Amino acid sequence: MIRINLLPHREIARERRKKEFVNLAGLTVILALAASLGVSLGIDRLVEAQSARNTFITHENEKLDSQIKEIGKLRQEIDSLMARQGAVEALQRDRTIPVRVFDELARRTPAGMVLRQIRQDERGISLNGWAHSNGQVSMLLRTLATESEWLERPELVEIKASQMPNPSAVPTRGRDRELLRVFEFTMTAQIKPLARPEAAAKAAGKPVAASGQAAGVAPLAANGVRP
């Protein structure tokens, strides 16, 4: 017996496939939305994490900037203190130079010559005095130029005939002291750059003396030197 299906099976199959397609499309959309939401949430978390890192870096940079400013101030203070220390050391180092220069002049001045005035302007020395002859002045120039340990480049500024009281004459009442014919001179010289106690002692291979007495400083009035 032949059976004939009179139901619209094609339409039923089409409707079934249509429903399956719709369900599959809906599931795909749902999955796509879920995936998009997950990716969006992940991106948001990454952005928040990066923003937090950026904020942290910004705060740390501000701290570093403030520390750099403090370091700059400390460096300025250190430089100022170093400059003050250098000035104090320079004063401490140079305080014996006048004594050394006086001692040098006392030892190098020819006998009978009188130094009336000695002036120092930084490294420059100006001498004014009396001499019995031009030869004594030439001798002092030559000695300071070739033998002096503390002075260099002596130059004669002026020399002229003059008179000075005779120190050996005894003054009497009603009479002036006898006058001597002398040569009044003015000369200049320079303190050597090596003229420092430590440097000079090192160059000579000798220890630095603790005082003028230990260094052999002669009295300032030796050889006719006067302040």
pLDDT in tens, 25-56: 888 989 999 988 889 888 989 999 999 999 99
- On whether the CB atoms of residues 179 and 153 are closer than 8 A, the answer is no
| DSSP E strands, the chain | 114-121, 124-131, 151-165, 179-191
* Sequence-distant (≥ 6) Cβ neighbours of residue 138 within 8 angstroms: none
Looking at residues 146-155, what average pLDDT do you find?
83
Q: Is the CB of residue 102 less than 8 Å from the CB of residue 89?
A: no
Q: What share of the chain is helix, strand, coil (3-state, %, to 5)?
A: 55, 20, 25
Tokens 């004459």 -> residue: 169
Tell me: the pLDDT tens digits for 67-79? Answer: 898 998 899 899 8
Strand partners, 158: 186
Given the DSSP bridges, would you call strands 179-191 and 114-121 parallel, antiparallel or unpaired? unpaired
Q: Is pLDDT at 152 greater than 90 in this prediction? A: no
Would you say the C-alpha torsion 214, 215, 221, 224 has a positive or negative sign?
positive
Average pLDDT over residues 197-221: 40
**0.95 exceeded by the pTM?**
no
**Dihedral sign (CA 200, 106, 214, 99):** negative
CATH of domain 97-169+177-197+216-224: 3.30.1360
Least confident interval from 2-11, 67-76, 81-90, 130-139: 2-11
What average pLDDT does range 122-141 have in this prediction? 84
Interatomic CA distance for residues 93 and 85, integer angstroms: 12
Dist CA 122 CA 90 (whole Å): 13
Residue 216 and residue 149: Cα distance in Å, rounded? 14
SS3 181: strand
Residue ranges of domains in the chain = 10-95, 97-169+177-197+216-224
Nearest to 191 by CA among 116, 115, 93: 93
Strands 151-165, 124-131: parallel, antiparallel or unpaired by DSSP?
A: unpaired
115 vs 222: CA distance, rounded Å: 11
